[in-house]
């Protein structure tokens, strides 16, 4: 079983997690187990991380560790619970290749739960579509594509964007592509970051302009989150400058950094709502904890925010009573209640099906239109990226490989750029 949320043992190293099943449940010599572990780690791009702990890895890397653990015992049937969620397009291809290799080498039967149409196309002998608790389509991938049922057609449409078609003529639902006339609101200058001997960022130069949606893409574990943590002053660089709102924040003290951070909003990958508070209570939380705003004024601001994001009817519900898409909007409302100047979205579409992904994209566009903000989006989803982005920055091996408009990126002839952005195309 490959679990969606990894289910790794935090106290064990990567190699011990992968070998755990065989070490605990068989008499196979440890040396032979570790040889199998090394082979799997190399195939999945984890060579050199065997001694690392799960907490030291990115989400995508933890997914690969979990996959290696599921395959090491050579099972007859493997259940994959959204195995590609949170992975970049190239790594999704590698995971798909690993699943196909396991099927061919060990004659396993695989049952896969997935939202990823490109992965489904590569892997599936048969596709079953679940809607409202019923299987409404069951057949080959080609039969699935030809199914004329409205829910199936809506699912197909959600996984596509015309802006990612080679030779297409521009954007849909995005700001007009023009050269920025203003100064950058964020600028990274020759940014280096090392964790011990691991050199994560290698001279990053990166500009983010105000009032625009900048999407940061790159391989799993490439350093996207590390860049964002530098921008927010949560990490300090090994060398280089981090200029935010016109000043280098590297030499600032804690109080000055807190003031800078107060000008940011954050939508976490899984919304991170407080389960014991209502929707209104979650949205009010930052005002109540960080300001002296009177209760009556807090209630008024919360109501206005809920109405602007079209979730006023959810005011008195608990997080467990609303959908994942609604939780995203509540998380956005909570971030926007503090009137941030820069909004950061951490993989907002991860774990969402194509229809909900479009809803999240619409939400981001709506926030951009409703509020005077600059948005930074970390994403692996190419369809979403090309729908919402004004600018796309691609991080590769610790360096910015490209920073261009969606149209320019689509036509970029660099081999890695082409492979990355088109790997997940249906």
58/60 Cα distance (integer angstroms): 5
Give a yes or no: residue 395 inside a domain.
yes
Q: Which of 138-152, 225-239, 357-371 is predicted with the least confidence, judged by mean pLDDT?
A: 357-371
Question: Do 231 and 374 share a domain, yes or no?
Answer: yes
pLDDT tens-digit series, residues 192-214: 999 888 899 999 999 999 999 99
- The residues, any chain, with a CB within 8 Å of residue 301's CB and separated by 6 or more, are 287, 293, 337
State residue 426's pLDDT score: 58
Residue with the bigger pLDDT between 294 and 45: it is: 294
Q: The domain that contains 67 carries what CATH number?
A: 3.40.50.300
27/55 Cα distance (integer angstroms): 29
Question: Do 94 and 229 share a domain, yes or no?
Answer: no
Question: Do 218 and 93 share a domain, yes or no?
Answer: no
C-alpha pair distances (Å), 360 with each of 43, 324, 355? 34, 10, 9
Share of residues in the chain with pLDDT > 90 (%): 50
Question: Do 370 and 258 share a domain, yes or no?
Answer: yes
Give a yes or no: residue 377 inside a domain.
yes
355/214 Cα distance (integer angstroms): 22
Q: How confident is the model at residue 165 (pLDDT cuts 50, 70, 90)?
A: low
State residue 179's pLDDT score: 52
Q: Give how many domains the chain has, as a whole number.
A: 2
pLDDT tens-digit series, residues 253-276: 999 999 999 999 988 877 789 999
Q: For 106, what's the count of Cα atoms within 13 Å in the CB-facing half-sphere? A: 17
Question: pTM to 2 decimals?
Answer: 0.77
Is residue 360 within 8 A of residue 325, CB to CB? The reply is yes
- The residues, any chain, with a CB within 8 Å of residue 140's CB and separated by 6 or more, are 124, 125, 126, 127
Question: Do 217 and 361 share a domain, yes or no?
Answer: yes
**DSSP reduced 3-state for 270:** coil
Cα 393–Cα 397–Cα 401 angle in degrees, nearest 5: 35
Question: Do 101 and 219 share a domain, yes or no?
Answer: no
188/81 Cα distance (integer angstroms): 38
Give a yes or no: residue 182 inside a domain.
no
Give a yes or no: residue 7 inside a domain.
no
Is residue 378 within 8 A of residue 346, CB to CB? The reply is yes
Question: Do 77 and 221 share a domain, yes or no?
Answer: no
From 124, 154, 174, give the residue that closes a domain.
124
275/297 Cα distance (integer angstroms): 24
Question: Do 119 and 230 share a domain, yes or no?
Answer: no
Give a yes or no: residue 402 inside a domain.
yes
pLDDT tens-digit series, residues 71-82: 888 788 888 888
From 75, 107, 124, give the residue that closes a domain.
124
| DSSP 8-class letter at 309 | T
pLDDT tens-digit series, residues 84-101: 777 788 888 877 887 887
Structure tokens at 176: 């007009």
Give a yes or no: residue 369 inside a domain.
yes
Is residue 3 within 8 A of residue 81, CB to CB? The reply is yes
Range of the domain at 264: 211-236+249-422
pLDDT (average), residues 312-335: 89
From 353, 322, 330, 351, select the one nearest 152 (Cα to Cα).
353
Q: In the predicted model, what is the mean pLDDT of the chain?
A: 87
Give a yes or no: residue 152 inside a domain.
no
pLDDT (average), residues 388-415: 92
From 74, 104, 124, give the residue that closes a domain.
124
C-alpha pair distances (Å), 293 with each of 152, 296, 301, 302, 372? 48, 8, 10, 12, 22
C-alpha pair distances (Å), 300 with each of 208, 263, 293, 306? 33, 21, 11, 10
C-alpha pair distances (Å), 336 with each of 162, 174, 283, 329, 344? 30, 21, 9, 10, 11
Q: How confident is the model at residue 172 (pLDDT cuts 50, 70, 90)?
A: very low
Give a yes or no: residue 132 inside a domain.
no
DSSP E strands: which ranges in 209-282?
Answer: 213-218, 239-244, 247-248, 264-267
pLDDT tens-digit series, residues 219-245: 877 889 899 999 999 999 999 999 999
Alpha helices in 232-353 (DSSP H): 254-261, 279-290, 295-308, 324-336
């Amino acid at each position: 079983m490959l679990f969606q949320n990894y289910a790794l043992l935090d106290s064990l190293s990567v190699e011990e997690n992968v070998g755990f099943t065989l070490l605990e449940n068989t008499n196979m010599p440890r040396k032979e187990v570790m040889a199998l572990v090394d082979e799997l780690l190399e195939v999945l791009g984890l060579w050199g991380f065997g001694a690392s702990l799960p907490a030291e890895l990115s989400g995508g890397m933890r997914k690969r560790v979990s996959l290696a653990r599921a395959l090491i015992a050579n099972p007859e049937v493997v259940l994959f619970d959204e195995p590609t969620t949170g992975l970049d397009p190239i790594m999704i291809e590698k995971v798909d290749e690993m699943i196909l290799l396991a099927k061919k080498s060990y004659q396993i039967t695989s049952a896969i739960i997935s939202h990823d149409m490109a992965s489904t196309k590569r892997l599936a002998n048969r596709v079953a579509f679940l809607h409202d608790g019923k299987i409404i389509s069951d057949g080959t991938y080609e039969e699935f594509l030809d199914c004329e049922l409205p829910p199936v057609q809506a699912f197909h449409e959600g996984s596509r964007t015309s802006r990612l078609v080679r030779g297409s003529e521009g954007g849909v639902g995005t700001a007009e592509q023009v050269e920025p006339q203003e100064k950058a609101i964020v600028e990274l200058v020759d940014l280096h970051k090392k964790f011990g001997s691991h050199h994560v960022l290698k001279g990053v130069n990166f500009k983010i302009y105000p009032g625009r949606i900048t999407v940061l893409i790159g391989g799993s574990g490439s350093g996207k989150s590390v860049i964002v943590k530098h921008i927010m002053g949560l990490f300090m660089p090994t060398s280089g400058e981090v200029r935010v709102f016109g000043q280098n924040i590297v030499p600032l003290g804690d109080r000055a950094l807190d003031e800078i951070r107060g000008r940011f909003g954050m939508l976490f990958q899984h919304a991170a709502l407080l389960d014991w508070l209502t929707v209104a209570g979650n949205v009010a939380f930052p005002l109540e904890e960080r300001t002296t705003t009177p209760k009556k004024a807090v209630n008024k601001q919360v109501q206005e925010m809920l109405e602007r994001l079209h979730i006023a009817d959810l005011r008195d519900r608990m997080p467990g009573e609303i959908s994942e898409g609604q939780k995203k909007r509540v998380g956005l409302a909570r971030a926007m209640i503090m009137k941030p100047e820069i909004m950061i979205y951490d993989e907002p579409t991860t774990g969402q099906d194509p229809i909900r992904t479009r809803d999240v994209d619409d939400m981001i566009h709506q926030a951009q239109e409703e509020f005077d903000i600059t948005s930074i989006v970390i994403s692996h989803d190419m369809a979403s990226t090309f729908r919402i982005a004004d600018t796309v920055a691609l991080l590769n091996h610790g360096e910015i490989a490209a920073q261009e408009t969606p149209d320019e990126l689509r036509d970029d002839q660099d081999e890695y750029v082409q492979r990355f952005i088109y790997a997940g195309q249906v």
